[in-house]
């Protein structure tokens, strides 16, 4: 088709990342939608995020995704449409969309990706799906073909996906509902416990990015925050120390580490042996936390290789797949009629 464009789409709980082949560039924006009176979309993306935790009760601001999966079709479509429109102001009908999807996903959940790309204002698009761990592996230069096995962990905003790739496929994959948002909530919990102060998750995220560190620090760094005193119910200003923030982060990271340990116990021994030698590949936006790989290594007893791609890992893999004929085998077409097939996509 004359003006057909190809896009790679990573719909994340916190951000949506899109690669446009025409522009040969990737774009990232908050995956948030603000809806008034449960129907009218009034803001999308970064603009909607600005309203998060500040909007009046009649406006709901939420991500269309929950725990790495599409939770609200209409909002997901609004978010995707708005971003595609920003990238290519004249969206052509009949584009090709490559979606990164979790490896362990049901037929119904796959159907949601098709519906998002062909639901309302987006029409006549061809849809391909690529398993996220495969996209991550390709971005990191790991061959999914290797018979010895490689393990990849992506810690995102509301999900940690752990997968083992061997012999050209994802042999085991598990997604646990823990990520950056749960880390933020753990920080809120720790501050509530130590200072009797309620803070919002946006403030917790700010503290995490500013002071979160899993390396040895003296913990003396501090930030002023404003919250609600849980005893009096009145606003209060408090100086929060880094060690309190890091204790909160650690509570959540220990839970993630424990899940990784359990997952490795289920891994076939020869593969686990190889993974122990090569190390576990670690990626996702939440791995920006300094020292996270050392902390997880201490909890699980395996070594970790931290990727420098962080949240852009999956979209980089999609970009490589879109650009290379040899890698096309990793993209499976998703057709509406075929969705009911018992095996395959």
Ligand X SMILES: Nc1ncnc2c1ncn2[C@@H]1O[C@H](COP(=O)(O)OP(=O)(O)OP(=O)(O)O)[C@@H](O)[C@H]1O
Q: Which of ligand X, Mg ion, none does residue 179 bind to, with CB < 5 to 8 Å depending on kind?
A: ligand X
Find the shortest distance in angstroms from Cβ 35 to ligand X. 19
Residue closest to Mg ion (Cβ): 156
Q: Is 297 helix (H, G, I), strand (E, B) or coil?
A: helix
Residue ranges in 151-170 that form contacts with Mg ion under rule CB under 5 A: 156
CA distance 41 to 101: 25
* CA-to-CA separations, 288 to 156, 179, 214, 250, 301, in angstroms, rounded: 10, 12, 11, 14, 21
45 binds, among Mg ion, ligand X, none (CB under 5 to 8 A by kind): none
d(CA 285, CA 179): 9
Which residue, 149 or 180, is less far from ligand X as judged by CB? 180
Complex with Mg ion: residue 149 or 284, whichever CB lies closer: 284
Q: Which of 55, 309 has the CB closer to ligand X?
A: 309
CA-CA-CA-CA torsion for 11, 316, 256, 244, nearest 10 degrees? -90
List alpha helices for the chain, DSSP H.
Answer: 46-51, 73-87, 107-117, 132-140, 180-195, 201-211, 242-265, 269-278, 292-300, 313-323
The distance of closest approach from Cβ of residue 18 to ligand X in the complex, given in angstroms and rounded to an integer, is 12
Q: CA-CA distance, 26 to 41, in Å (whole number)?
A: 25
Smallest gap, in angstroms, from Cβ of residue 121 to ligand X? 23
> Closest separation between CB of residue 146 and ligand X, Å?
24
**Does residue number 12 form part of the binding site for Mg ion (CB under 5 A)?**
yes
- Indicate which of Mg ion, ligand X, none lies near residue 64 (CB less than 5 to 8 Å, by partner kind): none
Binding residues (CB under 6 A) for ligand X: these are 12-15, 65, 68, 156-159, 179-181, 205, 208-209, 212, 284-286, 288-289, 311
**Residues 6 or more apart whose Cβ sits within 8 Å of residue 42:** 34, 35, 36, 59
> Least distance in Å: CB of 115 to Mg ion?
20
Return the number of the residue (12 or 45) whose C-beta is nearest Mg ion.
12
Residue among 182 and 203 whose Cβ is closer to Mg ion: 182
Q: Which CA distances in Å does 50 have to 68, 129, 153, 208? A: 21, 31, 30, 18
Bridge-based pairing of strands 6-11 and 280-283 is unpaired
Find which of Mg ion, ligand X, none residue 15 binds, CB within 5 to 8 Å per kind: ligand X
Q: Are 18 and 7 in contact (CB under 8 A)?
A: yes
Question: Could you tell me the smallest distance in angstroms from the CB atom of residue 213 to ligand X?
Answer: 9
What track of x and - describes contact with Mg ion for positions 38 through 77 (by CB under 5 A)? ----------------------------------------
Compute CA distances 303 → 69, 161, 283, 288, 298, whole Å. 29, 17, 14, 17, 8
Residue 102 interface partner, choices Mg ion, ligand X, none, CB cut-off 5-8 Å depending on type: none
Q: How far is the CB of 95 from Mg ion (least distance, A)?
A: 22
Number of residues that bind Mg ion (CB under 5 A): 2
Residue 110, contacted partner among ligand X, Mg ion, none, CB below 5-8 A by kind? none
d(CA 187, CA 174): 25
Binding residues (CB under 5 A) for Mg ion: these are 12, 156
């Amino acid at each position: 088709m004359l003006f057909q464009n190809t896009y790679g789409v990573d719909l994340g709980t916190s951000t949506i990342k899109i690669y446009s082949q025409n522009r040969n560039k990737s774009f990232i924006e908050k995956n948030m939608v603000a809806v008034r009176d449960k129907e009218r979309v009034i803001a999308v993306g970064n603009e909607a995020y600005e309203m998060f935790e500040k909007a009046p009760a009649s406006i709901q601001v939420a991500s269309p995704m929950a725990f790495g999966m599409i939770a609200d079709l209409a909002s997901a479509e609004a978010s995707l449409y708005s971003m595609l429109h920003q990238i290519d102001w004249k969206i052509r009908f009949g584009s090709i969309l490559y979606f990164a999807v979790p490896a362990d996903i049901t037929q119904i959940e796959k159907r949601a990706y098709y519906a998002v790309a062909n639901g309302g204002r987006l029409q006549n698009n061809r849809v391909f799906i690529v398993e996220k761990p495969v996209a991550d592996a390709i971005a990191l230069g790991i061959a999914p073909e290797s018979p010895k096995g490689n393990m990849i962990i992506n810690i995102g905003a509301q999900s940690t996906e752990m997968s083992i790739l061997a012999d050209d496929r994802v042999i085991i994959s598990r997604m646990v509902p823990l990520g950056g948002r749960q880390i933020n909530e753990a920080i809120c919990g720790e501050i509530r416990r130590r200072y009797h102060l309620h803070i919002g998750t946006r403030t917790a995220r700010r503290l995490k990015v500013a002071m979160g560190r899993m390396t040895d620090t003296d913990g003396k760094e501090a930030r002023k925050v404003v919250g609600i005193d849980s005893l009096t119910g009145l606003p209060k200003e408090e100086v929060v120390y880094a060690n309190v923030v890091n204790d909160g982060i650690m509570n959540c990271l220990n839970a993630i580490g424990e899940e990784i340990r359990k997952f490795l116990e289920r891994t076939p021994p020869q593969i686990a042996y190889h993974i122990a030698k090569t190390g576990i590949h670690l990626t996702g936006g939440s791995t920006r936390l300094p020292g996270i790989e050392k902390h997880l290594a201490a909890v699980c007893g395996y070594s970790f290789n931290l990727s420098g791609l962080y949240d852009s890992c999956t979209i980089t893999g999609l970009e490589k797949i879109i650009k290379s004929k040899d890698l096309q085998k990793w993209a499976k077409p998703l057709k509406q009629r075929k969705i009911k097939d018992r095996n395959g996509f």
